[in-house]
Amino acid sequence: MDSWDLGSGAHDDGAGCVQSMGVLALFKQLGYQPKRTIRAVMFMNEENGLKGGMEYAAQAVKKGEKHVMALESDAGGFTPRGFGFTAQDTQWAQIKSWSSLFEPYLIDSFKRGGGGADIGPLAPHYPKMVLAGLKPDSQRYFVHHHAANDTFEHINKRELDLGTAAMASLIYLFDQYGVQP
C-alpha cells in the first residue's frame, strides 16, 4: 500500500499486505486459537514520511497496548529464505533455536538486524519487543521495485503462499512461546 511510483505496487507492497492477511486467514482455516492478539496492519505512507507507522505506534502507546513482536513483509512476494530480527541477546538465542524448524524448507536464514520501516516507530516505546522482517529471495526484487512492471501478473502465487506460510509459522512460535525477557 506504499506504492507511489510507476507500477501498481503488487510486490511493493501489495504482496506483504496479502501475506499478512493470509496469515490470519490460514489460522482461521486451521481453527487455531491464539494465546495473544494477532493483527494484520496495513500501513500507509512509508515512502513519504512513515505517517502510518508513526500513528500506529502513537495509538498503541496511547491505548497502553503491549507488543511482543512485530513482523513486516516489505521485500516482495518472492520465495522466502528466512527472517531478520532485532532482538535482545536472550531473545536472539530463543529465536535462533527455532531456525532448525525452518531448515527443511530452506527458510532458515535467521539473521540479526531486521524489522522494517513501518514497524520501526514501535521500537522506542517497546524496548523488549522483537522486530522481524521476512527475507525473500532478493534476486528479482529490483526488477520490479518502483518499476512499471510491479503489477499483479508478476506475482507468483506459490511464492506468495510460501511467504504467508513462513510468516504464519514464525508468528505461531511467538504466540506459543512469547519472548525471553
Angle between helices 89-102 and 157-177 (to 10 degrees): 130
| Grid cell digits, residue 44 | 500507509
Considering 46, 103, 153, 159, which one is annotated as catalytic?
A: 46
- Assess whether 46 carries a catalytic annotation: yes
Annotated catalytic residues are 46
